[in-house]
Structure 1
Amino acid sequence: MKLTVQIRLLPTPVQAAALEATLRACNEAATWAGGVAFEKDVKRNFALREHTYGEIKARWRLGAQAAQHVIKKTCDAYATLKANLKAGNLGRPGSKRYRKATEKPVAFRPGSAQPYDDRMLSWQMAGRRVSVWTVVGRIKDVAFTGSAEQLATLALYRKGESDLLVWDGMWFLNATCEVPEAPPNPDPHDFLGIDLGIVNIATTSDGEIMAGRELNRIRTRERILRTKLQKKDTPSAKRRLKKRRRKESRRARDINHKIAKHVVAEAERTGRGIALEELTGIRERVRLRKPQRATHSSWAFAQLGAFIAYKAEKAGVPVVYVDPAYTSRTCAECGHIDRANRVSQAWFACRSCGFVDHADRNSSRNIRARAWQLWRRGALSTAPAPPPRQRGGARRKRSVTASDARCANPAL
């Protein structure tokens, strides 16, 4: 399987200036190529080369490999835009957002990532140095660092291109690695159901609850602080905002990694698979009150699901996705479905058989049961398709309620 290992570069000021000039030149060339592709309606790699390759090399002093990567990056951007338009991610045709995306060529920021292949970048793993092509010549002995696990993965499995990028003055290389997968478990004896939520980030069908109350309190405090700093609008306030802008996402990412690692390790230890809800389109399917929107939109549930999926694939643990409809209203003991079963955010009480349990644990048991039924039928998912857009931009109403939303709205 392919994994991306992020390595931090430690360039000297002279080396950093050369890298910055290279990124700026490559992205200026890519923006110009994007304009040519838009004007001539030529958005395929080899066709666009005929119109831009020579000009890019001459005007921006790029090497042959760099010029080809610039053109390919431009074509990839148009391919991504086309896919987003087709999926409806940029609104319906004719909407303001749709027109904004289609009526002008793609453009690249000066610090956008630039791909490098092995002709432009060489690694000296023993000395932790890289040699990088730049517009001012090849610079050697650029130091890099990373965690012990990252460096070991890089040394053993690096294969393919690497992306050079800069964030807040820090330089990174995102290296592609082909990591071998463990043999998949073809015959799990059961599944570990995982209910993802906002109040409780993840609840397993074993009854283990990984609460997110502390994280939510921190997020609320950070949001209030951001609002105050934005209102002050002073140079010092802007410096503090810039310093803190990625702190919350780093914290959430770290927590999600830890939860995913724990869940996959438990499933692997017990010989079980993992059952997850398919939450694609949850923001379009669920209507929330205004105070709840910021909390719901800032929760990285997709990131946590992706972490669980790739770690499970690496460990050979099967993952099954189920439709989340009514998992919060269904009794895990008798199967009775009733909205009134969900007494509160925390508790579930069946109106038919009287079964009482923690609401998220009850939902995770329903998820486990659905996954087991799917697996026995030879299926891997009952993921519902995203609701189609109607004319006028409105989403079609669905009769399903994702269990995710119940954490933000206990009435669901």
Structure 2
Amino acid sequence: MPQELTAKIKLLPTSEQEELLLKTMAAYRDGCNIASEYAYESGIYARFEIQKAVYSDIREKTGLKAQQAVSVCRTVQARYLAILRNPAFQKKCRYQGKQLIPNKVEFQKLQCDLVHNKDYTIKSDQTVTISVLGDAKRLRIPFEIKGMEKFFDKNIYKFGTAKLVYIRKNFFLHIGVTKLDVNEVTDEELFKAHNIVGIDRGINFVVTSYDSNNETVFVSGRRLASYRKHFVELRRSLQKKNTPSSRRRLKAIGQREHGWMQEVNHCISKALVEAYPPGTLFVLEDLTGIREEAVKFRKKRRYVMSSWTYFDLEEKIIYKANLRHSRVVFLDPRYSSQRCPRCGMVEKSNRNRKGHLYCCKNCGYRSNDDRVGAINMLQRGEDYLKTLHKPF
């Protein structure tokens, strides 16, 4: 099964090329807002219907080329479908008995989606050609390839749609690539290897893992929590000032915080997956709906829960495990921190949240509560493997 990844390269345009790129990205953003207005007012989110209604209008008002106008409709459709598929939105629709998006999607950031071999082409001399506004030929722009060399092997990777972005006065091209030679691990390989890793995710410890060799690994969340607390306080002070410069600063620190969290999750997932051989089964809790549960917490705790980047971490674990010929499964997390892994007794009072300690009142088993959660996930992974047992 092919694995989709993203190659991020930094463009090195001249000042004249920068001006043309910015104009093209601004026109693309304006085109998205035209299509978004139609989708919102009509309640139609199908790409071809949007394209049929606003294609000519986009071409006329923005000057975008044909393929770019088509890409605009695809971008708008994707944004509205993401809202419609959001679990919180679906829950609200069931309650109200209707499915109407309350607010129009506004496109503010400079962006542009580029189709491979139509809007952009990677050349062998480490340059990329990009279609821009007007009658001018494609821009030929050099780029930095540092750290991305492996993605340019055409025998292994295939290029797809790219997104042109403008961050801190620099242009980047985020290219969707597909790795072609990824083979999924089979049930037989999983059963024979019988190497399971139970993973518990949380706030005190970002990741707690327990494997078939009875080894436990804790990844502390204290540094992460301290860093997030610093940004919360900084954001609060800037919001009170409410000046143009403070709003610019707010935007900048938001991007910096997001980038730092991405890097942390990348390092954690890489270390976790590469610590085990191919054919490993990684067992995670199914945390679907945890965002909605965050409203039940107190105000101070609510921010920590709602800003928890568990989904980004699990996505990184999934794709890195696939590349390493392993598998990730999501199993029922209920009572994983209340169940005794030795005797099986489920009792809420066995867990001391403040002391992060688990003590079974039935058999006397004692351990860290996050470690208990990881052990229980491993045991559920063993039950999952039994369902795969066949006369191979």
Q: Taking structure 2 as the reference length, what is the TM-score of the superposition?
A: 0.85
Between the aligned partners of 2:88 and 2:270, the Cα distance in structure 1 is 35
> What SS does the corresponding residue of 1:57 show, helix, strand or coil?
helix
- State the partner residue of 1:200: 205
Task: Give 1:85 shift.
Answer: 8.1
> What SS does the corresponding residue of 1:275 show, helix, strand or coil?
strand
Task: Give 1:132 shift.
Answer: 0.6
- State the partner residue of 2:375: 365
Task: Give 1:21 shift.
Answer: 0.9
Unaligned runs of 5+ in 2: none
Task: Give 1:375 shift.
Answer: 2.1
Query: Aligned partner of 2:252: which letter?
Result: K
Between the aligned partners of 2:57 and 2:297, the Cα distance in structure 1 is 52
CA deviations on 1:274-313 (whole Å, 9 max, x unpaired) are: 1101111113235212221112222211111111111111
CA deviations on 1:82-140 (whole Å, 9 max, x unpaired) are: 43489516665659x976x34x654432514423331221112x432111100032343
Question: In the alignment, is residue 5 of structure 1 matched against residue 7 of structure 2?
Answer: yes
Match of 1:44 among 43, 46, 51: 46
Task: Give 1:10 shift.
Answer: 2.3
- State the partner residue of 2:384: 374
TM-aligned CA distance change 1:299 to 1:79, over 3 Å: closer
Query: Aligned partner of 1:147: which letter?
Result: K
Query: Aligned partner of 1:127: which letter?
Result: D
TM-aligned CA distance change 1:240 to 1:182, over 3 Å: same
Between the aligned partners of 2:293 and 2:13, the Cα distance in structure 1 is 47
Deviates more, 1:160-169 or 1:33-42: 33-42
TM-aligned CA distance change 1:41 to 1:225, over 3 Å: closer
**1:240-389 equivalent positions in 2, closer than 5 A:** 240-268=249-277, 271-285=279-293, 287-344=296-353, 345-378=355-388
Between the aligned partners of 1:85 and 1:223, the Cα distance in structure 2 is 26
Between the aligned partners of 1:113 and 1:292, the Cα distance in structure 2 is 37
- State the partner residue of 1:141: 140
- State the partner residue of 1:391: none
Deviates more, 1:324-333 or 1:337-346: 337-346
* Contact 1:15 1:139 (C-alpha < 8 Å) held by counterparts: no
TM-aligned CA distance change 1:291 to 1:57, over 3 Å: closer
Task: Give 1:173 shift.
Answer: 1.4
Task: Give 1:37 shift.
Answer: 4.6
Question: In the alignment, is residue 158 of structure 1 matched against residue 152 of structure 2?
Answer: no
- State the partner residue of 1:122: 121
- State the partner residue of 1:383: none
- State the partner residue of 1:174: 174
Between the aligned partners of 2:252 and 2:109, the Cα distance in structure 1 is 20
Between the aligned partners of 1:216 and 1:37, the Cα distance in structure 2 is 40
Between the aligned partners of 2:365 and 2:111, the Cα distance in structure 1 is 55
Between the aligned partners of 2:245 and 2:228, the Cα distance in structure 1 is 22
* Contact 1:34 1:105 (C-alpha < 8 Å) held by counterparts: yes
> What SS does the corresponding residue of 1:330 show, helix, strand or coil?
coil
Between the aligned partners of 2:235 and 2:333, the Cα distance in structure 1 is 34
* Contact 1:321 1:371 (C-alpha < 8 Å) held by counterparts: no
Match of 2:221 among 201, 212, 228: 212
Aligned residues: 373
Deviates more, 1:68-77 or 1:23-32: 68-77
Task: Give 1:331 shift.
Answer: 0.9
Task: State the Cα RMSD in Å.
Answer: 2.7
Task: Give 1:54 shift.
Answer: 3.2
TM-aligned CA distance change 1:351 to 1:98, over 3 Å: same
- State the partner residue of 1:59: 61
Task: Report percent identity of matched pairs.
Answer: 27
Deviates more, 1:9-18 or 1:82-91: 82-91
Between the aligned partners of 1:330 and 1:81, the Cα distance in structure 2 is 36
Task: Give 1:328 shift.
Answer: 0.7
Deviates more, 1:135-144 or 1:227-236: 227-236
Question: In the alignment, is residue 109 of structure 1 matched against residue 141 of structure 2?
Answer: no
Between the aligned partners of 2:345 and 2:87, the Cα distance in structure 1 is 41
Between the aligned partners of 1:327 and 1:87, the Cα distance in structure 2 is 28
Query: Aligned partner of 1:122: which letter?
Result: T
* Contact 1:154 1:177 (C-alpha < 8 Å) held by counterparts: no
Deviates more, 1:322-331 or 1:76-85: 76-85
Task: Give 1:317 shift.
Answer: 0.6
> What SS does the corresponding residue of 1:326 show, helix, strand or coil?
coil
CA deviations on 1:140-168 (whole Å, 9 max, x unpaired) are: 331222432x2321444132221222234
Task: Give 1:72 shift.
Answer: 2.9
Unaligned runs of 5+ in 1: 380-412
TM-aligned CA distance change 1:253 to 1:38, over 3 Å: closer
* Contact 1:158 1:175 (C-alpha < 8 Å) held by counterparts: no
Query: Aligned partner of 1:61: which letter?
Result: G
Between the aligned partners of 1:59 and 1:228, the Cα distance in structure 2 is 41
* Contact 1:118 1:160 (C-alpha < 8 Å) held by counterparts: no
- State the partner residue of 1:392: none
Task: Give 1:36 shift.
Answer: 3.9
TM-aligned CA distance change 1:238 to 1:160, over 3 Å: closer
Between the aligned partners of 1:85 and 1:251, the Cα distance in structure 2 is 27
TM-aligned CA distance change 1:98 to 1:111, over 3 Å: farther
